[in-house]
Amino acid sequence: MQRLSTNRLFGGHRFYMGKTGTAIAQLILSLTLFGLAITFVWWIVDAFLVHTWVKDKNRNLELHLLNQILGTQRAPQAGF
């Protein structure tokens, strides 16, 4: 559990979700004490957003797999 929290604090969850630019920014910010405070607030906001990112990513993956299985081309829907 400690490793999970550490990875989140340094932007690991953003790397995992493919948000590399903001993940690097969060990682760089976390190297200073002031930046660590900003990153902590950012982490709290992300705690409420991650579930939406995961649902959108899973929906797009599901549509991609269905398109491969059925041989059709449907555009993935944007998440709201």
Span 24-71, pLDDT tens digits: 988 888 888 888 888 888 888 888 988 999 999 999 999 999 988 888
For 28-39, the pLDDT digits (tens) are 888 888 888 888
Which of 46, 4, 3, 6 shows the shortest CA–CA distance to 22?
46
Tell me what pLDDT residue 1 has.
47
d(CA 68, CA 59): 14
Tell me what pLDDT residue 55 has.
94
**What pTM does this model have?**
0.62
